[in-house]
Chain A
Amino acid sequence: MPSERQSERYETLAWLVGPKGLMLLLFGCIAVVYGATLSTEVLGGDAGEFATLAGGPGVAHPPGYPLYTMLLRLLDFVPIASPAARASFLTAVIGMGAAVGLFRAAIAWGAEPLAAGVAVVIWAFAPLTWSLSTSPEVFALNAALCVGMVAVAGPFSPHRGTLRAGLLGLLAGLALSNHHSAVLMAPIGFYGLVVGIRESVAPLRALGVALGAALVGLLPYALLESQAANPEALWVWGDFTALQGLVHHILRVDFGTLQLGIRADKVDAWTQVGALTIALMEQTHWVGFIAFLGGTVWLLSTRNRFAQMPPRLAVVFLVVTLVCVGPLFVSLMNLAPVGVAARVVERFYLLPLTIGSVIVALGFEGWFRRLELRNDVQFSILGALITLCAAMSFQQVREHHRPDVSRYVENVLVSVPARAVIMGTEDHRLFGFLYHQAALGERADVQYLDPTMMHYAWYRNRMAELTGLTLPEPEGETVSTVAIADAVLSAGRPLFVTNIFSSGIPKNFATYPAGLLYRVLPRGASPPHPLEVERLNVELFERYWLPEYPAVAGSWAGLVAQDYVRPWEQLASAFAAISMGDRAEGCRHRADALRPTPAPTFRRRLTR
């Protein structure tokens, strides 16, 4: 017979491997892994803009993402590491919230804790979820609020009647205050609303509460005008001096209300759907995808075979929602999933991955109900799965969080002379320089100017104020980069460009590669001899931070790596043209050492 002490020990063990212990293991592991792998630097895409807004007031690009930017400010006051690290920390908290939401959604749709836990592990440690939950991006919050809607609308949800309708309204409003793609959750939202209204003894009142709650959830948009009016704002995208500006911003008129990006690639819907499907297979390491298929078939074909099965109508609405946030949404995207644009597009896969994970949980539930596993076996399964998924995804997260974009900006800022003006394009540069200069206060004497943004009056005014120059207005749809260069050079300021974004500057001015930039010389000046340019570049590269191992092509780091390769390739061509073969060969070797490696074969097939 066991002693009292042994009994206590058994009880503790039983608690540890029971449902509560299972949850502790699950969410504890997510907290530890996310906390240990937070991105601490500014990354490509919009991450730089959000990291900046973690350091002070401001307004992000349309539609402004007011809920996320407000949440970012919550940690602005914690003096630890950098604003980028604090923004990542806050996003990790949100990512954990999304994991809890997914767990509750799976339970609310009929799964037991083990099946729900397995789905959460596969979801939380998918490289996409992990990367977007540990870097400054809005997608984890979008997933958290949308999966919250699925949880509240679930057939076994504890929230009934008016409370269900009101919570759905509030979550929908808050989700729209964060990301417009939440509108695609309408099928499951309306299903839950109708169920809530029917459960309520006062249906009209329930509807009124839901609408009122939705309006309350949309109130963070009022923040935009308030933030824009703050004289200390670090960055305000748009003009909020009139109500029209606020409407313009919320409707994303700058990008085209229903368009994803500012550029319009010709890409057919099936390519987008194919890319989504393959990505979801990869993200869930195939296991989740197979469970998803099993779950869908099980839910739609079986009726009342087991207790706690969701009604078929509810399942149909869940599947329709998944089709809306997944295949339907991606088929409308105007960016081809190739190269860095694929990194932009794949962030939108997080929502279908999250909603699909509820069905993944039900797929596992179908299997686990047949097995009747003991608690300690359940605990071991979950522990092993966490280890396996984390190990399989870690390398991709590490690659995603590479500091290359941040180091690129630092390299540029430490190498340019006083009062230099740098012209360049692309989001990673615009927001990278914004973070380093506006949030960190680096090189206040240097200005970065994006000519593609000069179409916007608010940006022209900002740049005119920062540079103290009279900058040219656009003529129709065209911004004259030559006129901007003339304005900068005539003021006696050193001018550099990060990349060749138009033919105007190389045609009208002499240029030569100066490290990661091109130096633009005043009209009539001649570039130095290639030997002199080589000496300058050797000096600059000695001071630069260089990546320890090559970046992968098609990533933001890979895009940045091209800028390190470029000067050596150009010098190689220049030396070859003047018959200095040895020098040319040396430069070619330097270029090859810095070149990004090709993307993995599977992904290459996908992107083609």
Chain B
Amino acid sequence: MLEPRDERPWGPRRIAGAVGVVLLLLAGLFAVAAGRAAVSCRKELHAAEGFLASGDLASALLAARHAAEWYVPLDGCSEVGLTLLDEVAAKADATGQGELALVALRSARTSIMLTRGLYTPHAGRLPRLHAEIAARMAAERRLSGKAQPDDQARYLAQLDGYEARRPNPWLALAGSLGFVGWLGAVAGFAWFGLRADGSFVWKAALGWAGTALVLFCLWLTLVRYA
């Protein structure tokens, strides 16, 4: 029989070491991704400020929107992007470009919506944005001559509905952890519940199998209702 290349047993120390290396690599990957988000945000912000100063509102809107999308916790850059979008909307209104102002407000809303996680960054801005967007959409309908009395309320309900509609993030997180735990318990069963000759280490095997079953049921239940 050919000898294995690596005969070190998978004891607690080796498992801890492997987990440590994985976490280190994940942290490195996350740090690079977060760094990239922060750098990209500043680059877009710089461009947006330039466009705004030169009066090119359409380009400023686009750059400010992208800056607002690059949200990283504890980094205030994306908030400056949102403020610039407000500024673009105000300048567009002042120069009679109502449609562009609506686009700027919608862009601010989208930038907030797409960074949602366990919490919604800059959530305090949403009620004002929703109210303004709904009012402008209703006004647009009035101009087209197809207005209905409840237009504004209906649009506002649609916009607010997305926040209410979202799944419960904490339950969903618990479900996801159940999934990861299930995979880990199955691996634990394979490593600690089995001897090389195929016989079971009964105590460990039952423990890991039971854990896997509980976590699997937890995962399926939570993803259904989360």
Within 8 A of B (CB), among A96-114: 96, 107-108
Cα–Cα distance between A454 and B195 once the two chains are bound (Å): 55
Closest 10 CB pairs of A and B: A79-B117, A35-B32, A162-B198, A202-B198, A441-B162, A201-B197, A82-B114, A205-B198, A200-B198, A158-B4
**Range class of the A interface residue count:** 35 or more
The answer to whether A209 and B194 touch (CB under 8 A), given A80-B72, A442-B106, is: yes
Cα–Cα distance between A362 and B81 once the two chains are bound (Å): 52
| A170 contacts B190, C-beta separation under 8 Å | yes
Chain A residues whose C-beta falls within 8 Å of the C-beta of B186 in the assembled complex: 170, 213, 216
Chain A residues whose C-beta falls within 8 Å of the C-beta of B187 in the assembled complex: 170
Distance in Å: Cβ of A170 to nearest Cβ of chain B: 6
Chain B residues whose C-beta falls within 8 Å of the C-beta of A229 in the assembled complex: 224
Chain B residues whose C-beta falls within 8 Å of the C-beta of A202 in the assembled complex: 197-199
Cβ contact of A81, chosen from B6, B37, B109, cutoff 8 A: B37
Can you identify 29 A-B contacts, CB atoms within 8 angstroms?
Answer: A28-B25, A31-B28, A32-B29, A32-B32, A36-B33, A56-B166, A57-B226, A70-B179, A70-B223, A73-B223, A74-B176, A74-B179, A77-B169, A79-B118, A79-B119, A81-B37, A83-B114, A93-B26, A107-B5, A157-B5, A162-B194, A170-B190, A223-B219, A226-B223, A230-B225, A418-B140, A418-B144, A441-B110, A545-B62
| B58 contacts A77, C-beta separation under 8 Å | no
The answer to whether A155 and B117 touch (CB under 8 A), given A170-B186, A226-B220, is: no
Cα–Cα distance between A124 and B155 once the two chains are bound (Å): 48
Cβ contact of A38, chosen from B33, B115, B116, cutoff 8 A: B33
Within 8 A of A (CB), among B92-124: 100, 103, 106-107, 109-110, 113-121
Within 8 A of B (CB), among A116-171: 155-158, 160-163, 166-167, 170
Cα–Cα distance between A310 and B165 once the two chains are bound (Å): 56
Cα–Cα distance between A166 and B195 once the two chains are bound (Å): 11
Distance in Å: Cβ of A380 to nearest Cβ of chain B: 22
Cα–Cα distance between A548 and B8 once the two chains are bound (Å): 54
Distance in Å: Cβ of B201 to nearest Cβ of chain A: 12
Chain B residues whose C-beta falls within 8 Å of the C-beta of A83 in the assembled complex: 114
Within 8 A of B (CB), among A394-419: 414, 417-419
| A79 contacts B71, C-beta separation under 8 Å | yes
Residues on A close to B: CB < 8 A?
A: 27-28, 31-32, 34-36, 38, 55-57, 70-71, 73-74, 76-83, 85, 89, 92-93, 96, 107-108, 155-158, 160-163, 166-167, 170, 199-203, 205-206, 209, 213, 216, 219, 222-223, 226-227, 229-230, 232, 308, 310-311, 414, 417-419, 436, 439-445, 492, 542-543, 545
| B191 contacts A89, C-beta separation under 8 Å | no
Chain A residues whose C-beta falls within 8 Å of the C-beta of B8 in the assembled complex: 158
Residues on B close to A: CB < 8 A?
A: 1-8, 25-26, 28-34, 36-37, 58, 62, 69-73, 100, 103, 106-107, 109-110, 113-121, 137, 140-141, 144, 146, 155, 158-159, 161-162, 165-167, 169, 172-173, 175-176, 179-180, 186-187, 190-191, 194-199, 212, 216, 219-221, 223-226
| B1 contacts A199, C-beta separation under 8 Å | yes
Chain B residues whose C-beta falls within 8 Å of the C-beta of A417 in the assembled complex: 140, 144
| B25 contacts A27, C-beta separation under 8 Å | yes
| B180 contacts A74, C-beta separation under 8 Å | yes
Cα–Cα distance between A162 and B201 once the two chains are bound (Å): 13
| B116 contacts A443, C-beta separation under 8 Å | no
The answer to whether A161 and B4 touch (CB under 8 A), given A96-B29, A229-B224, A232-B165, is: no
| A311 contacts B165, C-beta separation under 8 Å | no
Cβ contact of B115, chosen from A56, A81, A166, A443, cutoff 8 A: A81
Chain A residues whose C-beta falls within 8 Å of the C-beta of B194 in the assembled complex: 162-163, 166, 209
Cα–Cα distance between A157 and B2 once the two chains are bound (Å): 9
Cα–Cα distance between A605 and B5 once the two chains are bound (Å): 45
Distance in Å: Cβ of B96 to nearest Cβ of chain A: 14
Q: Which residue of B lies closest to A96 (CB)?
A: B25
Cα–Cα distance between A69 and B173 once the two chains are bound (Å): 14
| B198 contacts A201, C-beta separation under 8 Å | yes
Cα–Cα distance between A206 and B141 once the two chains are bound (Å): 70
| A108 contacts B5, C-beta separation under 8 Å | yes
Cβ contact of B28, chosen from A28, A170, A419, A443, cutoff 8 A: A28
| A76 contacts B117, C-beta separation under 8 Å | yes
Q: Which residue of B lies closest to A205 (CB)?
A: B198
| B71 contacts A81, C-beta separation under 8 Å | yes
| A93 contacts B197, C-beta separation under 8 Å | no
Distance in Å: Cβ of B168 to nearest Cβ of chain A: 8
Distance in Å: Cβ of B64 to nearest Cβ of chain A: 13
| A73 contacts B110, C-beta separation under 8 Å | no
| A311 contacts B115, C-beta separation under 8 Å | no
Q: Which residue of B lies closest to A544 (CB)?
A: B58
Chain A residues whose C-beta falls within 8 Å of the C-beta of B34 in the assembled complex: 80
Excluding A76-B176, A436-B110, 6 further A-B contacts by CB distance (< 8 Å) are A38-B33, A70-B179, A163-B190, A200-B197, A227-B224, A445-B155
| B198 contacts A206, C-beta separation under 8 Å | yes
Chain B residues whose C-beta falls within 8 Å of the C-beta of A158 in the assembled complex: 4-8
Cβ contact of B162, chosen from A203, A219, A444, cutoff 8 A: A444
The answer to whether A444 and B197 touch (CB under 8 A), given A223-B220, A226-B220, is: no
| A80 contacts B4, C-beta separation under 8 Å | no
| A77 contacts B197, C-beta separation under 8 Å | no
Distance in Å: Cβ of A448 to nearest Cβ of chain B: 16
Chain A residues whose C-beta falls within 8 Å of the C-beta of B219 in the assembled complex: 223
Q: Which residue of B lies closest to A206 (CB)?
A: B198
| B103 contacts A414, C-beta separation under 8 Å | yes
Chain A residues whose C-beta falls within 8 Å of the C-beta of B71 in the assembled complex: 79-81
Distance in Å: Cβ of B50 to nearest Cβ of chain A: 16
Cα–Cα distance between A162 and B220 once the two chains are bound (Å): 29
Cβ contact of A80, chosen from B73, B165, B176, B190, cutoff 8 A: B73
Cα–Cα distance between A36 and B35 once the two chains are bound (Å): 8
Distance in Å: Cβ of A79 to nearest Cβ of chain B: 3
| A80 contacts B137, C-beta separation under 8 Å | no
Cα–Cα distance between A57 and B225 once the two chains are bound (Å): 10
Cα–Cα distance between A76 and B179 once the two chains are bound (Å): 14
| A35 contacts B33, C-beta separation under 8 Å | yes
Cα–Cα distance between A93 and B33 once the two chains are bound (Å): 12
Chain A residues whose C-beta falls within 8 Å of the C-beta of B196 in the assembled complex: 160-163, 199-200
